Structures are given as C-alpha cells and as structure tokens.
Structure 1
C-alpha cells in the first residue's frame, strides 16, 4: 500500500505520478483546445510534436530517478492527451482527492487505476459534482491550503476557469484544521498573456520560505499583497508577463534544496542558484506550448 503524505510543495519527494506524452492524439482542432496558448500554436503551426514531448518527459523522469524518487506513469490511452497528471487528482496529508475536471478529460483518471488500487480506499475522496477543481489550483503549504479560483458571474463562459468557490468551501470542510486561502485569478479565453490558467501558472512556493509570483495573474491586488507579506518581499522572485507566459512559476521541487526547471529560464535559474538551490535543468519548451509545465505534469503522492 502507498502511505500517502503531502504537507507542502517542497519536502523531500518519495513517490510521484508523471504524465505521459505517448499517443498524444496529434494536433487538436482549434475548437477542441482547452486554453488560449494551445490555440495560438495550433494556428501558427507550431503545436508540439509527440516525439519531442516524449523526450522532454523522459528527461524529467531521469532527474526524478537520480534522486531516488519512485515514478508511476499512466497507462497509455490511444490518441489522448495525458501529460498533465496534476489536474486529475491531488494529495493533501494522507488523502487522495479526485478532481472534477473538464468532462472531455474523464478517462485520464482511469489510466492511473493501478496507482489508486494501492491507496487505502477510505483515504480516497470524490468531491461532489458541483465542485469544480483541478490540481494546478491547489497548493498545500503546511497549515494552509492555497487555492486559485474564479468567482465571476461569467465563470461558465471561461473554459480557462477551472476551480470554483464550491470546491474551496468543500476543501475547508474536509480539512477543518487548515486555513484554506483562495485567490481570484485573471482569466482570458483568448490572450494567454492575460490568463492565469491555474494558481501554479502565476505563483509557487519554493524552499522553506520563498516563492515565485506574477502580480498580474491575481485579479485582486490585496490577495497578491497578502502572499508578498506572508513570504516577505525579500524572499520573492517576481516574474514578468513574458516569463509567466513561458510558465516560469511552474517549476517542480524535489526537495527544499532541489528544483527541476526549464533550461531557458535563465533569469529565474540564476536567482535560484544565487539563493542556494540546486537547479536541475531540463528541456520543456514544447510541453509549455500547452500552457502547462513541470508542476502540471507531476502529481506528488509521498513526501517525507
């Protein structure tokens, strides 16, 4: 049995699900895309090729194994995008919470049944239907759970709005001893530079007390300010709109000292090293074209 344990984003990683790019389904039609960035690349003819994405994910698996992390992969579903394992479920403490994601993506969870079978069934939680949530919006941080959301009246018109207030309330009910803190994110169906698809597209805690953040990803300035005060201005790496577009906040922590990052994130990687982090650089620019990066394609199960 897997003894699930996730208290935060950065404790030493022991076991993780890493998505797969095999049999990815080729280039989608514009109307079948889930986010504005994919649309951009489909139209431009620069949508990522399966073979390139497979190589990128293999590079990540190699780094994870170098640090003795147990890596689970989904079963391959023919012609289906299974890269973003983070969206389909997430672990907080010892509970495995199945996300209610876009209906088109229902089969993704079935592809990890071989992993779910190793989890105590009493620890598996299926949220009520009215709770929309994806793992990219949920960040356990010790006594807190940070959640990205969107509560605008036009929620249903935004394919980019993935987590609603019902989910925030339900998470608070499941974890009464934690403080669930929600953040309204900026949503835009057409302009990827004005769209924070998930909380991890504009914010992520790293190390013991540091964070990467993009101010414009937050709709409400005082919520952004709360995070700056919480981590302390001197501990924050502020990314630009261009860096957010390239997913600079979507790195992945193997431990408090080791971070997997994209090799083109020059400014960020330099800052991380100056602040004592070991940076494991991988190529991930092709996968980034689908508005997801390293955190999006991993689902941590056990941290120390």
Structure 2
C-alpha cells in the first residue's frame, strides 16, 4: 500500500507518477488544441514529435533514479497524449483527489488505475460534477493551499480556464483546517504570452521560503501582493513575459535544496545557484510547446 503524504511543493520526494510521451499520437488539428501555445505550434509546423519528447521525459526519469525516487508511469494508451499527469489528479496530505478534467481525457485516469489500486480507497475522492479543478492550479505550502482560478463571468467560454470557484469551495470544505487562498489568473484563448493556464505558470514556491513569480499573471494586484507579503519581496524571483511564455516557473523540486529546471532557463539557474540550490538541468523545450513543463508532467504521491 502507498501511504500518501504531500504537504508542500519542496520536501524530499519519495514517490511520483511521471507522464509518458510514448504513442503520443499524430499532431492534433487546429480545432483540437486545448491551449493557445499548442495552437501556435500546430499552425507553425513546429509541434513536438514523439521521439524528442520521449527523450526529454527519459532525462527527467534519470534524475529521479539518481535521487532514488520511486517512479510510476501511466499504462500506454495508443495514439494518446499522456504527458501531463498533474492535470488528472493531485495529492493533498494523505488524500488523492481525482480531477474533473475535460471529458475526452478521462482515459488518462484509467491508465494510472494500477497505482490508485495501491491506495486506501477511502483516501481517494472525486469532486462533484460542477467543481472543476486541475492539479496545475493547486499548490501546497504546509498550512496553506494556493489555488489558481478564473472568476470572469465568461468562464465557460475559456477552454484555458480549468478551475472554477466550485472547485475552490470543494477544497475548502475538504480541508477546513487549511488556509485556502484562491488567485484570479489572466486567461487568453489566442495569445499564449498572456495566458496563465494554471497557477504554476505564474507562481511556484521553491526551497523553504522562496518562490518564482510572474506579476502580470494575476488579474488582481491584491492577489500578487498576498504572495509578496507572505514570502517577502527579496525571496521572490520575478520573471518576465517571455520567461512566463517559456514556463520558467514550471520547474519541479525533489527536495528543499534540489530543483529540476529546463536547461535554457539561465537566469533562473543563476538565481537558484547563488542561493545554494543544486540545479538539475534537463532538455524540456519540446514538451513546453504544449503549454506544460516539469511540474505539469509529474504527480507527487509521497514526500517526507
């Protein structure tokens, strides 16, 4: 049995589900794109190919092996994108929450059923149908849960709006002892540089008291200021619009002092190294063309 335990983003990782790029399927048609960045690359003829993405994910798997992390992979579904495991579920404390994802992605949950079978069934929950919530929008910080959402009245018109206020309320009810704070994110269907698909596209904690943040990803300055006040401005690394587009805040922590980042993020690397972090660099630029990066393709099950 797996004894789930995840209370924050940075404690020592012991067990994780890493997505897979095998049998990823053909390049989608324009009308099949879930986000503006994928659409941009479909139109430009630069959408990533399977062999490159498999290599990139294997590099991450090697880092996990190096640090003795138990890694599960989804069962392969023919011609199907199974890279972004963070979308389909997430762990808070000792509970696995299945996401109400876009209906056509339901099969991705079936592909990790063999892992879910190792978890106490009483510790697996599914939100009610009206509650939309995806793992990329849920960030744990000990007694805090940060949740990205979109509060615009046109929520239903945005395929890029993945977590609604019903989803936020569901988490508040499930974890009444936690401070649940939602953040209203900027969304765009057409311009990936102005689309915070999930909270981890514009903010993520690192280490014990630091974070990486993109100010313009928040619709309300007060939401951004909440994080500045909580972490302290001197502890936050501010990224720029182009860095947000390349998903610089979407790294992944193995421990409070070990971080996996995409190898092109030189400015982030310098900032982390100067502060004593061990930085593991991997190539992930092809996968990032689908508006997802390291945090999106990992689903932590156990941290110390």
Could you say whether these structures have the same fold, taking a TM-score greater than 0.5 normalized by the shorter chain as the test? yes
Tell me, what secondary structure is at the counterpart of 1:57?
A: helix
Aligned residue number for residue 54 of structure 2: 54
Give matches, 1:67-216, under 5 Å.
67-216=67-216
Q: Following TM superposition, by how much is the alpha carbon of 1:196 offset from its aligned partner in structure 2, in angstroms? A: 0.2
Structure 2 Cα separation of the partners of residues 171 and 216 of structure 1 = 26
Structure 1 Cα separation of the partners of residues 79 and 134 of structure 2 = 22
Structure 2 Cα separation of the partners of residues 104 and 190 of structure 1 = 22
Aligned residue number for residue 274 of structure 2: 274
Structure 2 Cα separation of the partners of residues 52 and 60 of structure 1 = 13
Aligned residue number for residue 5 of structure 1: 5
Cα displacement string for residues 36-67 of structure 1 (whole angstroms, at most 9, x for unaligned residues): 00000000000000000000000000001100
TM-score normalised according to structure 2 size: 1.00
Aligned residue number for residue 218 of structure 1: 218
Tell me, what secondary structure is at the counterpart of 2:255?
A: coil
TM-score normalised according to structure 1 size: 1.00
Structure 2 Cα separation of the partners of residues 247 and 26 of structure 1 = 24
Structure 1 runs (4+) greater than 2 angstroms displaced: none
Aligned residue number for residue 66 of structure 1: 66
Structure 2 Cα separation of the partners of residues 131 and 73 of structure 1 = 27
Structure 1 Cα separation of the partners of residues 227 and 102 of structure 2 = 29
Cα displacement string for residues 243-294 of structure 1 (whole angstroms, at most 9, x for unaligned residues): 0000000000000000000000000011100011000000000000000000
Tell me, what secondary structure is at the counterpart of 1:54?
A: helix
Q: Following TM superposition, by how much is the alpha carbon of 1:21 offset from its aligned partner in structure 2, in angstroms? A: 0.2
Structure 2 Cα separation of the partners of residues 218 and 151 of structure 1 = 11
The number of equivalent residue pairs is 304
Structure 1 Cα separation of the partners of residues 216 and 283 of structure 2 = 26
Structure 1 Cα separation of the partners of residues 297 and 161 of structure 2 = 19
Tell me, what secondary structure is at the counterpart of 1:254?
A: strand
* Runs of at least 5 residues in structure 2 that lack an aligned partner in the other structure: none
Structure 2 Cα separation of the partners of residues 176 and 222 of structure 1 = 23
Aligned residue number for residue 284 of structure 1: 284
Structure 2 Cα separation of the partners of residues 183 and 149 of structure 1 = 6
Q: Following TM superposition, by how much is the alpha carbon of 1:104 offset from its aligned partner in structure 2, in angstroms? A: 1.6
Q: Following TM superposition, by how much is the alpha carbon of 1:208 offset from its aligned partner in structure 2, in angstroms? A: 0.1
Cα displacement string for residues 7-38 of structure 1 (whole angstroms, at most 9, x for unaligned residues): 00000000000000001112000100100000
Structure 1 Cα separation of the partners of residues 248 and 262 of structure 2 = 8
Structure 1 Cα separation of the partners of residues 21 and 226 of structure 2 = 37
Q: Following TM superposition, by how much is the alpha carbon of 1:183 offset from its aligned partner in structure 2, in angstroms? A: 0.1
